[in-house]
Amino acid sequence: MENNLDIFQKDIGYKFKDISLLKNALTHTSYAYENKVKSYERLEYLGDSILEFISSKYLFENFENLSEGEMTKVRAYAVCEDSLYKIALKHNFSDFLYLGKSERATNTDKKAILADTVEAVIAAIYLDSKNIDLVQDFILKNIKEQIEFASKNVGVKDYKTVLQEKLQIHGEVQIKYNIIKEEGPDHDKTFTAEVECDGKKLASGSGRSKKNAEMEAARKAINLIS
């Protein structure tokens, strides 16, 4: 793992002076618990705030045509779990994660873990460099494309609206969303939502917020009825 971190640093374009910060950023709670070390959770918290600030600043300075509400929508798309997950895949984060035996044995979808780790690495770069410009370089290099796409499609209807229009094409129907499951600690929950039409279950989806879970359920329902 020690030598592999050289590969990781080269890939993300930043060389750490304090390698322990990078190790911390890549340490999942399962490994931390089994080995009595710190997990990336505190770094993730800081990284989330840095990511929001940098993306907000970039939008404010470069997209004068967007309203406050539109900038919020674009930012939400650019820094959502899916976007962060794609960054993790691009830089092969999964090859360098410190996961506990219990987590490795589950073979579950580690999408949320990888997204969280990206935020933790952002914080680690900031703490190691004490240079917000270097952090900004890393962030924008990885999310600028998503921002450009979202800024051009900010008026596109969301999945819940599209589903409603499809289901009501022949008349009024009752569409209802239910949160059927909540997993994880309060600061790191995953929600599962289910969408039904006139009492008939259509699809379910998961997300890091109730809104995202409902949106994912709507997306899956659209694919089923299209």
Give phi and psi for 180, each to the nearest 5. Answer: -105, -10
Reply yes or no on whether 183 is catalytic: no
Q: Which of 140, 114, 125 lies closest to 47, judged by CA? A: 125
Write down the residue that tokens 């917000």 correspond to: 132
Q: Residue 158 and residue 170: Cα distance in Å, rounded?
A: 20
Of 44, 48, 116, 194, the catalytic one is 48
Are 154 and 211 in contact by the 8 Å Cβ rule? The answer is no
Alpha helix positions (H), the chain: 4-12, 19-25, 29-35, 41-62, 68-78, 81-90, 101-106, 111-129, 132-152, 159-167, 210-225
HSE, CB side, 13 Å, CA atoms: give it for residue 48: 13
Q: How far is CA 50 from CA 3, 80, 91, 98, in A?
A: 28, 14, 20, 23
- Beta-carbon contacts of residue 148 (< 8 Å; ≥ 6 apart): none
Reply yes or no on whether 44 is catalytic: no
- Beta-carbon contacts of residue 24 (< 8 Å; ≥ 6 apart): 37, 38, 39, 40, 43, 120, 124
List residues bridging with 205 in a β-sheet: 193
Of 44, 103, 119, 194, the catalytic one is 119
Q: Which residues are catalytic, by number?
A: 48, 119
